Structure 1
């Protein structure tokens, strides 16, 4: 079983790195103000911050100023403008 434990530990470590890379995205100033985050990107490296995961807070007052509009991803739309049924 030591091989399985080592593999599991390695996979968890790799998934954490990829999760951190995936979660860092540049947003508009309005989105950053409404969803302040502890993580930052400096010196070409992501820094997670000291907040518990996911490290994103919600400013309810700022978020209430923008109405939510649901939208489909463009990859779901077929050439005839119908949507793909997953």
Structure 2
């Protein structure tokens, strides 16, 4: 990991996983400057990961931690779903 500096006013989404486990959270508005790589390193120190599923759980929890610590704010947006594979099923998604 290098350095991913996020600055106030940046609009971001946070994604992790692959295939059926893919997750995207957001959009969020960055409230104060921070280094996402450093944040993840600290989160990994405070939540030791010994199993693959624990890493997935931690990745899914990072957006919540950022929200609670005031680094980001959730932005309202309309989420649209197009479908999967060749089955188009256009509709609004609801959280």
Q: TM-score range by the shorter chain?
A: under 0.3
Q: If each structure's helix is expressed as a fraction of its own residues, which one has the higher value?
A: 1
Q: Which has the larger radius of gyration?
A: 1
Whose relative contact order is higher, 1 or 2, with alpha carbons under 8 Å and at least 6 apart?
A: 2
